[in-house]
Chain A
Amino acid sequence: MSGPSTYVPQTDLTRWLDSRLPILRLAHDTVWTFPTPRNLNFWYAFGAILTFCLGVQIVTGIVLAMHYVPNAGLAFDSVENIMRDVNYGWLLRYVHSNGASMFFLAVYVHMFRGLYYGSYKAPREVLWILGVIIYLLMVVTAFMGYVLPWGQMSFWAATVITNLFTSLDQVIPHLGSVIATWLWGDFAVGDATLNRFFSLHYLLPFVIAAVVGLHIWALHVPGNNNPLGIDVKGPQDSLPFHPYYTAKDAFYVGLFAILFAVLVFYAPEFVGNPDNNIPANPLVTPTDIVPEWYLLPFYAMLRSVPQKLIGVLVLVGSLLTLAFIPWLDWSPVRSNRFRPLMKQLFWVFVVDCIVLGYCGSQSVDAVRFGMPMVVVARVATAYYFAFFWLIMPIVGLIETPKPLPDSIAKSVLGTSAAPAE
Chain B
Amino acid sequence: MRFALPLGLALAVVASAPGLAATGDQMPLKHLEWSFEGPFGTFNRADLQHGFQVYKEVCSACHSLNRVAFHTLAEEGGPGFSDPQMKAIAAGYKIPAGPNDKGETVDDKGQPLMRSGTPADHFPAPFANDDAARAANGGALPPDLSVIVKARPGGPDYVYSIISGFGQKPPPGFKVTDGKYYNPYFIGWNIAMPPPLTDNQVTFVDGAPAKIDDEAKAVVTFLSWASEPHLEDRHRMGLGVMVFLVVLSGLLYLSYRRVWRDAH
Q: Which residues of A contact B (CB under 8 A)?
A: 38, 77, 80, 83-85, 90-91, 94, 105, 108-109, 112, 239, 243-244, 247-248, 250-251, 254-255, 257-258, 261-262, 264-266, 268-269, 271, 274-275, 277-278, 287, 293-294, 350, 354, 357-358, 361-362, 368-369, 412-413, 419-421
Chain B 205-238 interface 0/1 with A at a Cβ cutoff of 8 Å (1 = within): 0000000000000000000000101100111011
| Neighbouring A residues of B39 by C-beta, 8 Å | 265-266
Q: Which residues of B contact A (CB under 8 A)?
A: 1-2, 4-9, 11-12, 15-16, 39, 67, 69, 72, 143, 146-147, 150-153, 155, 187, 227, 229-230, 233-235, 237-238, 241-242, 245-246, 248-249, 252-253, 255-256, 258-260, 262-264
Is B260 a contact partner of A90 (Cβ separation < 8 A)? no
A370 to chain B, nearest CB (A): 12
Nearest-CB residue, chain A, relative to B234: A265
Instruction: Report how far A292 CA is from B96 CA in the complex, Å.
Output: 41
Nearest-CB residue, chain A, relative to B151: A277
Q: Top 6 A-B pairs ranked by shortest CB distance? A: A265-B238, A254-B249, A277-B151, A251-B252, A361-B12, A247-B259
Nearest-CB residue, chain A, relative to B226: A84
Instruction: Report how far A277 CA is from B143 CA in the complex, Å.
Output: 12
Contacts A265-B237, A421-B263; A254 near B1 (Cβ below 8 A):
no
Is A358 a contact partner of B11 (Cβ separation < 8 A)? yes
Tally the A-B contacts, defined by beta carbons under 8 Å: 124
Q: 14 A-B residue contacts at CB 8 Å? A: A38-B264, A109-B2, A239-B263, A248-B260, A250-B255, A254-B249, A265-B238, A266-B39, A266-B235, A275-B151, A350-B1, A354-B4, A358-B8, A358-B11
| Neighbouring A residues of B187 by C-beta, 8 Å | 287
| Neighbouring B residues of A108 by C-beta, 8 Å | 5
Contacts A265-B237, A266-B39, A354-B8; A258 near B150 (Cβ below 8 A):
no
Instruction: Report how far A278 CA is from B146 CA in the complex, Å.
Output: 10
Is A91 a contact partner of B242 (Cβ separation < 8 A)? no
Tell which of B5, B6, B242 has the most Cβ of chain A within 10 Å: B5
Is B241 a contact partner of A261 (Cβ separation < 8 A)? yes
Contacts A361-B12, A361-B16 known; list 20 others, CB within 8 Å. A90-B233, A94-B234, A248-B259, A248-B260, A250-B256, A261-B238, A261-B245, A265-B39, A265-B234, A265-B235, A271-B9, A274-B150, A274-B151, A275-B151, A278-B143, A294-B5, A350-B1, A354-B4, A357-B9, A362-B15
Instruction: Report how far A258 CA is from B15 CA in the complex, Å.
Output: 28
Contacts A247-B256, A265-B242, A354-B8; A277 near B263 (Cβ below 8 A):
no
Is B12 a contact partner of A362 (Cβ separation < 8 A)? yes
B49 to chain A, nearest CB (A): 20
B132 to chain A, nearest CB (A): 18
B248 to chain A, nearest CB (A): 6
Nearest-CB residue, chain A, relative to B2: A109
| Neighbouring A residues of B259 by C-beta, 8 Å | 243-244, 247-248
Nearest-CB residue, chain A, relative to B11: A358
Is A350 a contact partner of B4 (Cβ separation < 8 A)? yes
B90 to chain A, nearest CB (A): 17
Is A258 a contact partner of B12 (Cβ separation < 8 A)? no
Binding site secondary structure of chain A: helix
| Neighbouring B residues of A239 by C-beta, 8 Å | 263
Is A419 a contact partner of B263 (Cβ separation < 8 A)? yes
Instruction: Report how far A254 CA is from B250 CA in the complex, Å.
Output: 9
Nearest-CB residue, chain A, relative to B40: A266
Instruction: Report how far A218 CA is from B164 CA in the complex, Å.
Output: 62
Instruction: Report how far A180 CA is from B26 CA in the complex, Å.
Output: 37
Instruction: Report how far A138 CA is from B259 CA in the complex, Å.
Output: 34
A401 to chain B, nearest CB (A): 22
| Neighbouring B residues of A357 by C-beta, 8 Å | 5, 8-9, 12
Instruction: Report how far A38 CA is from B39 CA in the complex, Å.
Output: 40
- Residue in contact with A80 in the complex, picked from B67, B152, B256, CB distance below 8 Å: B67
| Neighbouring A residues of B150 by C-beta, 8 Å | 269, 274, 277
Contacts A108-B5, A254-B249; A244 near B260 (Cβ below 8 A):
yes
Instruction: Report how far A38 CA is from B263 CA in the complex, Å.
Output: 8
A39 to chain B, nearest CB (A): 9
A110 to chain B, nearest CB (A): 11
Is B16 a contact partner of A362 (Cβ separation < 8 A)? yes
Is A84 a contact partner of B8 (Cβ separation < 8 A)? no
A273 to chain B, nearest CB (A): 9
Tell which of A80, A109, A266, A269 has the most Cβ of chain B within 10 Å: A266
B84 to chain A, nearest CB (A): 23
Nearest-CB residue, chain A, relative to B244: A261
A61 to chain B, nearest CB (A): 20
| Neighbouring A residues of B230 by C-beta, 8 Å | 83-84, 90
Is B237 a contact partner of A274 (Cβ separation < 8 A)? no
Nearest-CB residue, chain A, relative to B250: A254
Is B263 a contact partner of A368 (Cβ separation < 8 A)? no
Is A247 a contact partner of B252 (Cβ separation < 8 A)? yes
Contacts A90-B234, A266-B39; A258 near B249 (Cβ below 8 A):
yes
| Neighbouring B residues of A354 by C-beta, 8 Å | 4-5, 7-8
| Neighbouring A residues of B12 by C-beta, 8 Å | 357-358, 361-362
| Neighbouring A residues of B1 by C-beta, 8 Å | 109, 112, 350
Contacts A109-B2, A247-B259, A254-B248; A268 near B234 (Cβ below 8 A):
yes
A393 to chain B, nearest CB (A): 25
